[in-house]
Amino acid sequence: MKRFTRRRSPVLVAAMIVPALAAAAPHKKPATATPFEAVKMIIEFNSTAQDAGVQVSFDAEAWKSVTVLDPDGHKIFQVDGKGSLRKLGGSELFLESDEPALQDVPLDDLFAQFPEGEYQFIGTSPDGESLAGSAQFTHKIPDGPSIVSPATLDPDNAVIRWAPVTTPAGIQIAGYEVVIEKDDFHVFDVKVPGSITSVTVPPQFLEPATQYGFEVLAIENGGNQTITESSFTTE
């Protein structure tokens, strides 16, 4: 099935994370730095396509430059606004790395490039204020959800079901996300707690006699998520 083009932040989207570079000069968070409103770094694994990549995001009221450092102080990403955008400042930024197949880049190689630990986010606002934050990055990846709903659904009573994800050993699922797409358009997207293993799709989102692709994502407590792709046809 064609891979989803999932909707990202409407503000800025970057297509690739810069691979880990040589060790950068030590960076220290200024004592008076303002915290980012949000920072995040996770692994997304597609159990259907058998590929994986890294996602990084951060949010602040306004920033003109941001640097991300790995646990060893190596710079893995840097962004600087230019011209009018530098004066105005950015707010939310989402970055997704390339997602090579595991046969080309095994998970152990990805883990070596992006070690577990605390990643530092250091930035500057348009008015010169220092920004700082940190995100804990882990290698805990849940197995993909097993879809148990039928391939043909009644559009007036469409329920997508999956088996709870309990593996590998020690994994803890914080929640699931269900994304339904038709012709590269997201028609439905919802997140539910980890105790829920089914979602009823309101009939106004579906048309009769139509095929839809969908994803169910298992989201681990640390943020890493695993996708299972499938499809259904309405009666």
Residue type, 96: E
Tell me the whole-structure pTM to 2 decimals.
0.86
Name the pLDDT band for 98 (thresholds 50, 70, 90). very high
How far apart (Å, rounded) are the C-alpha atoms in residues 149 and 147? 6
Token couple for 32: 């008076």
Are 13-137 and 146-234 equal in CATH topology?
yes
Residue type, 126: P
Indicate if the pLDDT at residue 39 is higher than 70. yes
- The answer regarding whether domain 146-234 maps to CATH 3.30.1490.20 reads no
Q: Which stretch of 109-113, 139-143, 181-185 has the lowest confidence by average pLDDT?
A: 181-185
pLDDT for res 31: 61
Mean pLDDT of 9-14: 37
pLDDT digits (tens, 9 = 90+) for 180-203: 999 989 999 999 999 999 999 999
Q: Residue ranges of the domains in the chain?
A: 13-137, 146-234
Mean residue pLDDT of the chain comes to 90
CB atoms within 10 A of CB 66: 23
CB-based contacts of 30, cutoff 8 Å, min separation 6? 130, 132
Q: Per residue in 151-164, is it b (16+ CB within 10 Å) or e — as a string?
A: eebebeebebebee
* Fold type of domain 13-137: Immunoglobulin-like (2.60.40)
pLDDT digits (tens, 9 = 90+) for 21-31: 334 444 555 56
pLDDT for res 54: 98
% residues pLDDT > 70 (the chain): 87
